[in-house]
Structure 1
Amino acid sequence: MPDDYDKAAYPEPPRQTPAVDKQTALPNPALILSKLFYYTVDLPVTTFRDTIDSIRSKNKLVYYHQKFRRVPDLMDCKEGDFTCYYEADMQWRRDYKVDQEIVKVIQERMRACQQREGHSYQQNCTKEIQQFNEVTKNFQSRCKYLTAETWTHLVQHYS
Structure 2
Amino acid sequence: MPEPRSPMASFAQSVSNIIDGPITWFRETIVEPNQEKYNWYHQRFQRVPTIDQCYTDDAVCRFEADQQFRRDRMVDNEIVNILRQRFEDCTLYEAPDHIIKCKPILEQYEKATENWFIKYGDLGGYANAKTAYMKQKHRLIWERRHGPVGSGMKGEK
TM-score bin (small chain): 0.5 to 0.7
Instruction: Tell me, in whole angstroms, the C-alpha distance in 2 between the residues paired with 1:135 and 1:122.
Output: 19
TM (norm. structure 1) is 0.57
Aligned residues: 124
Give the gaps of 5 or more residues in structure 2.
6-12, 132-157
2:128 aligned counterpart, secondary structure: helix
Q: What is aligned with 1:69?
A: 47
Residue 135 (1) aligns with residue 112 (2): yes
Q: What is aligned with 1:109?
A: 86
**CA displacement, residues 6-25 of structure 1 (integer Å, 9 cap, x when unaligned):** xxxxxxxxxxxxxxxxxxxx
Q: Which amino acid aligns with 2:46?
A: F
**CA displacement, residues 14-50 of structure 1 (integer Å, 9 cap, x when unaligned):** xxxxxxxxxxxxxxxxxxx8xxxxxxx7xx8xx9899
Percent identical pairs in the alignment equals: 24
Aligned-residue Cα RMSD (Å) equals 3.8
1:64 aligned counterpart, secondary structure: coil
In structure 2, the CA distance between the partners of 1:113 and 1:119, relative to structure 1 (3 Å rule), is same
In structure 2, the CA distance between the partners of 1:48 and 1:85, relative to structure 1 (3 Å rule), is closer
Structure with bigger gyration radius: 1
Q: What is aligned with 1:88?
A: 65
